Chain A
Amino acid sequence: MTTPSSAVGEPVVDSVLAADHGLTDEEFGGLCDLLGRSPTWTELGIASALYSEHCSYKSSKIHLRRFPTRSRRVVHGPGENAGVVDVGHGWVAAFKMESHNHPSFIEPYQGAATGVGGILRDVFTMGARPIACLDSLRFGEIDGERGARMRHLVDGVVRGIGDYGNCVGIPTVGGETGFHRSYNGNILVNAFALGVCREDRIFTATASGAGNPILYAGSRTGRDGIHGATMASEAFDSESEAKRPTVQVGDPFTEKVLLEASLEAMRSGVVLGVQDMGAAGLTSSCFEMAARGGAGVELDLDLVPLREASLTPYEIMLSESQERMVFVTQRGQEEAVVEILSRWGLEASRIGQVTDSGRARLTFRGRTVADMPVEPLVDGAPVYDRPAAAPADLQERQQAVACEPPEDPLRALKDLLKTPELGDKTWIHRQYDSTVRSNTIVGPGSDAAVLRLKGTPSALALTSDVNPSYCWLDPRMGGRQAVAEAVRNLATVGAEPVGMTNCLNFGSPENPGIAWQLRECIEGMAEACRAFDVPVISGNVSLYNETEGEAVHPTPTVAIVGVIDRLEDGGTDGDLHLVLGCGFWRPGDRVVLLGSDSGEYGGSAYQRLLHGVEAGRPPAVDLEGESALCALLRQSRRAGWLSGCHDLADGGLLVALAECAMARGIGLRATVDCGPLSLFSEGQARAIATVPASRTEDLLAAAEARGVPAREIGDVGGDRLVLDFDGGAVDSAVADLRRVWTEALPRAVG
Chain B
Amino acid sequence: MKCGIVVFPGSNCDHDVYHVLSHVLGQETTFLWHQETSLEGCELVVLPGGFSYGDYLRAGSMAAHSPIMAAVRRHAEAGGRVLGICNGFQMLLETGLLPGAMRRNRDLRFLSVDVHLRVERDDLLYCSNYRRGDVLRMPIAHAEGNYADTEEALDELERRGQVVFRYVDAAGRLEPVANLNGSERAIAGICNAGGNVLGLMPHPERCAEEMLGNRDGLGLLAGAVAAGGGRVGALAAAGG
Is the Cβ of B211 less than 8 Å from the Cβ of A452? yes
Interface residue? A639 (CB, 8 A): no
Is the Cβ of A431 less than 8 Å from the Cβ of B9? no
Is the Cβ of A166 less than 8 Å from the Cβ of B10? no
By a CB distance below 8 angstroms, the chain A residues around B12 are: 167-169, 256, 436-437
Segment of B73-81, B106-114, B125-133, B192-200 engaged in the interface with chain A: B106-114
By a CB distance below 8 angstroms, the chain B residues around A162 are: 110
The contact of B13 among A254, A344, A345, A436, by CB within 8 Å, is A436
CA distance A452 to B111 in the complex (A): 23
CA distance A167 to B56 in the complex (A): 11
By a CB distance below 8 angstroms, the chain A residues around B143 are: 166
Given contacts A169-B50, A431-B110, A579-B212, contact A438 B55 (CB under 8 A): no
Write out, one digit per residue, whether chain A residues 230-270 have a CB within 8 A of any chain B CB (1) or not (0). 00000000000000000000011110110010000000000
Among residues 435 to 454 in chain A, which have CB atoms less than 8 Å away from a CB atom of chain B? 435-438, 440-441, 452, 454
Given contacts A167-B10, A435-B141, contact A441 B211 (CB under 8 A): yes
Count A-side interface residues using an 8 Å CB cutoff: 34
Interface residue? B210 (CB, 8 A): yes
The contact of A437 among B16, B55, B109, B112, by CB within 8 Å, is B16
Interface residue? B205 (CB, 8 A): yes
Interface residue? A163 (CB, 8 A): yes
The contact of B110 among A163, A260, A452, A580, by CB within 8 Å, is A163
Is the Cβ of B141 less than 8 Å from the Cβ of A251? no
CA distance A567 to B139 in the complex (A): 23
By a CB distance below 8 angstroms, the chain A residues around B20 are: 438
B41 to chain A, nearest CB (A): 23
Is the Cβ of A167 less than 8 Å from the Cβ of B54? yes
Interface residue? B213 (CB, 8 A): yes
Is the Cβ of A576 less than 8 Å from the Cβ of B210? yes
Is the Cβ of A431 less than 8 Å from the Cβ of B109? yes
Among residues 22 to 79 in chain B, which have CB atoms less than 8 Å away from a CB atom of chain A? 49-51, 53-56
Is the Cβ of A253 less than 8 Å from the Cβ of B9? yes
Interface residue? A433 (CB, 8 A): yes
Interface residue? B160 (CB, 8 A): no
Among residues 197 to 240 in chain B, which have CB atoms less than 8 Å away from a CB atom of chain A? 203, 205-206, 208-213
Among residues 156 to 180 in chain A, which have CB atoms less than 8 Å away from a CB atom of chain B? 159, 162-163, 166-169
The contact of A256 among B10, B49, B141, by CB within 8 Å, is B10
CA distance A166 to B15 in the complex (A): 15
Interface residue? A557 (CB, 8 A): no
Q: What is the chain A residue whose CB lies nearest that of B109?
A: A431
A27 to chain B, nearest CB (A): 42
Is the Cβ of B9 less than 8 Å from the Cβ of A345? yes
Given contacts A430-B111, A435-B206, A440-B212, contact A169 B13 (CB under 8 A): yes
Interface residue? A432 (CB, 8 A): yes
Interface residue? A429 (CB, 8 A): yes
A428 to chain B, nearest CB (A): 11
By a CB distance below 8 angstroms, the chain A residues around B55 are: 167
Interface residue? B19 (CB, 8 A): yes
Interface residue? A434 (CB, 8 A): yes
Is the Cβ of B203 less than 8 Å from the Cβ of A435? yes
By a CB distance below 8 angstroms, the chain A residues around B109 are: 159, 431
Among residues 627 to 658 in chain A, which have CB atoms less than 8 Å away from a CB atom of chain B? none
B211 to chain A, nearest CB (A): 6
Is the Cβ of A433 less than 8 Å from the Cβ of B9? no
A161 to chain B, nearest CB (A): 10
Given contacts A452-B211, A454-B19, contact A438 B205 (CB under 8 A): yes
Is the Cβ of A257 less than 8 Å from the Cβ of B51? no
Write out, one digit per residue, whether chain B residues 116-139 have a CB within 8 A of any chain A CB (1) or not (0). 000000000000000000000001
B53 to chain A, nearest CB (A): 7
By a CB distance below 8 angstroms, the chain A residues around B139 are: 435
* Interchain pairs with CB closer than 8 A, number: 91
Among residues 106 to 161 in chain A, which have CB atoms less than 8 Å away from a CB atom of chain B? 159
Is the Cβ of B13 less than 8 Å from the Cβ of A253? no
By a CB distance below 8 angstroms, the chain B residues around A430 are: 110-113
Is the Cβ of B210 less than 8 Å from the Cβ of A167? no
CA distance A452 to B51 in the complex (A): 24
Is the Cβ of B112 less than 8 Å from the Cβ of A433? yes
By a CB distance below 8 angstroms, the chain B residues around A579 are: 211-213
CA distance A530 to B154 in the complex (A): 64
Given contacts A166-B141, A167-B51, A435-B141, contact A344 B112 (CB under 8 A): no
By a CB distance below 8 angstroms, the chain B residues around A454 are: 19
Is the Cβ of B16 less than 8 Å from the Cβ of A438? yes
Q: What is the chain B residue whose CB lies nearest that of A254?
A: B54
Among residues 71 to 106 in chain B, which have CB atoms less than 8 Å away from a CB atom of chain A? none
Given contacts A169-B12, A256-B12, A435-B141, contact A567 B112 (CB under 8 A): no
Is the Cβ of A256 less than 8 Å from the Cβ of B51? yes
By a CB distance below 8 angstroms, the chain B residues around A435 are: 112, 139, 141, 203, 206
By a CB distance below 8 angstroms, the chain B residues around A253 are: 9-10, 51, 53-54, 56
CA distance A253 to B12 in the complex (A): 11
A634 to chain B, nearest CB (A): 20
Q: What is the chain A residue whose CB lies nearest that of B213?
A: A579
Among residues 383 to 441 in chain A, which have CB atoms less than 8 Å away from a CB atom of chain B? 429-438, 440-441
CA distance A168 to B53 in the complex (A): 11
B62 to chain A, nearest CB (A): 10
Q: What is the chain B residue whose CB lies nearest that of A575?
A: B210
CA distance A454 to B20 in the complex (A): 12
Given contacts A253-B51, A344-B9, A430-B113, contact A436 B212 (CB under 8 A): no
Write out, one digit per residue, whether chain A residues 337-359 have a CB within 8 A of any chain B CB (1) or not (0). 00000001100000000000000
By a CB distance below 8 angstroms, the chain B residues around A256 are: 9-10, 12, 51, 54
By a CB distance below 8 angstroms, the chain B residues around A167 are: 10, 12, 51, 54-55
Is the Cβ of A567 less than 8 Å from the Cβ of B211? yes
A206 to chain B, nearest CB (A): 29
Write out, one digit per residue, whether chain B residues 154-175 have a CB within 8 A of any chain A CB (1) or not (0). 0000000000000000000000
The contact of B212 among A345, A429, A433, A441, by CB within 8 Å, is A441
The contact of A438 among B54, B56, B110, B212, by CB within 8 Å, is B212
By a CB distance below 8 angstroms, the chain B residues around A169 are: 12-13, 50-51
11 contacts between A and B (CB under 8 A): A166-B51, A166-B112, A252-B51, A253-B10, A257-B10, A429-B112, A430-B111, A433-B112, A438-B16, A441-B211, A567-B211
Chain B residues engaging chain A, CB cutoff 8 angstroms: 9-10, 12-13, 15-16, 19-20, 49-51, 53-56, 109-113, 139, 141, 143, 203, 205-206, 208-213
Further 14 A-B residue pairs, CB within 8 A, beyond A166-B141, A580-B213:
A169-B12, A169-B50, A253-B54, A345-B9, A430-B111, A431-B109, A433-B112, A434-B112, A435-B139, A437-B12, A438-B16, A438-B206, A438-B209, A579-B213
Q: Which 8 A-B pairs have the closest CB atoms?
A: A169-B12, A253-B54, A579-B213, A433-B141, A438-B16, A167-B51, A435-B206, A433-B112
Chain A residues engaging chain B, CB cutoff 8 angstroms: 159, 162-163, 166-169, 251-254, 256-257, 260, 344-345, 429-438, 440-441, 452, 454, 567, 576, 579-580
